[in-house]
Chains A and B, each alone.
Chain A
């Protein structure tokens, strides 16, 4: 399986806007006619290597490959992988390149998939690297927004919670900046505001954006509300985590001032930042988002394997 350098997706910036739009079109086709795609990846193998615990993303990748008729090889968790013995990422992916046609990788260290993509001879998909990027979650988010709002332009988007370490937030912003006439409201405690490089991107693109610490202030203005969890694993200090984890909890009362066609998204897992009472609200789209994620991963795997 080794050969020429394969194309990988480490950041959402690795995909052109046309490619993203095309992936969404393919995902829509998959949604309408799943049987047509059930053998597209027959005899192809996906390897999921996850150096950090994950249920949802790994299952989504594996379900995507199985739905395409392909096979999956995986390690149960990082403690049983060769990384636990001190093997470098570079060595690991060069070995796996001989076993699989494509790799989905999650790693707690930022930039690990960059190293993997440099060394692997098969495509590498970043399934999340620390607080950095999570491009396939972004693809899921984009498809959810397009399907629920009918467009990716002309929207007011609120992103709430951990905007500093929240990789899904950073990737979504980078992607949405490609579509016109969107406004952004960033809702977070001071300690978890957007990092500097994201502010640079926003300023360079010239979009309208503001920051607030009040969810109540932002809710009535929004077409999309993207909630995130304050992630314990991103903190070096337990006290900081405990202090910040319950800052924002979305409940029916806070939603009383929201637009009727608001779409509420969340990359999941949720802890308590969205009350379970909101689940029955038709504006809650976070479980539907996971279906969109699987279909976008199917479309991406096909694209990177050159299968039409």
Chain B
């Protein structure tokens, strides 16, 4: 893996090709002042093609959001140009305010301040259920 260009920061590797913009949006990386690089369609022995996101700062990442978008992503923390920690993601058990319940009969449709919380119901099928009304939402990314 090429860590060039990141001295103290985070490299998100093994992102499915084409998903780096989704990662960028969901993690709100546009809010950062530091250098952020999106590399699309890199050659990968394992995946054929992949995307990479490089963040030139050690920020707090929402790993639940990342795991939801693509549990195959590897998170590499880099300090002084060296990888100091590598994290493999899984589908998170709970998602808070990542997806919204689409059931018009759900209490979240009228009580706007309620957090939209989903629990993982089926790991294989990547199905989440609203904790309030049990409506399912598939992890579609």
Contact = CB atoms under 8 A, between A and B. Distances in A.
Contact of B134 (A108, A109, A197): A197
B131 A88 contact: no
**Interface residues of A toward B: which range?**
10 to 19
B111 A115 contact: yes
Given A88-B113, A114-B107, 7 more contacts: A110-B103, A110-B106, A111-B107, A114-B131, A130-B105, A132-B105, A197-B129
B106 A111 contact: yes
A144 B110 CA distance: 36
Contacts of A200: 121-122
Contacts of B114: 115
Nearest to A115: B107
A101 interface: no
Contacts of B130: 111
Interface in B20-43: none
B136 to A, nearest CB: 6
A111 B108 contact: yes
A302 interface: no
B133 A132 contact: yes
A110 B136 contact: no
A interface, by DSSP: helix, strand, loop or mixed?
mixed
A239 interface: no
Interface of B: 103, 105-111, 113-114, 121-122, 129-136
Contact of B136 (A90, A107, A109, A197): A197
Contact of B107 (A89, A131, A196, A197): A89
Contact of B111 (A88, A131, A132, A197): A88
A72 interface: no
A112 interface: yes
Nearest to A116: B107
B110 A109 contact: yes
Contact of B132 (A90, A115, A196): A115
6 contacts: A111-B130, A112-B107, A112-B132, A115-B111, A130-B133, A131-B105
A44 B118 CA distance: 36
Contacts of A112: 107, 132
A89 B113 CA distance: 11
A129 B108 CA distance: 13
A233 to B, nearest CB: 11
A197 B122 CA distance: 11
A115 B108 CA distance: 10
Nearest to A132: B133
A114 B132 CA distance: 6
A232 to B, nearest CB: 15
Contacts of B107: 89, 107, 109-112, 114-115, 129
A129 B109 CA distance: 14
A21 B65 CA distance: 42
Interface in A14-64: none
A196 B113 contact: no
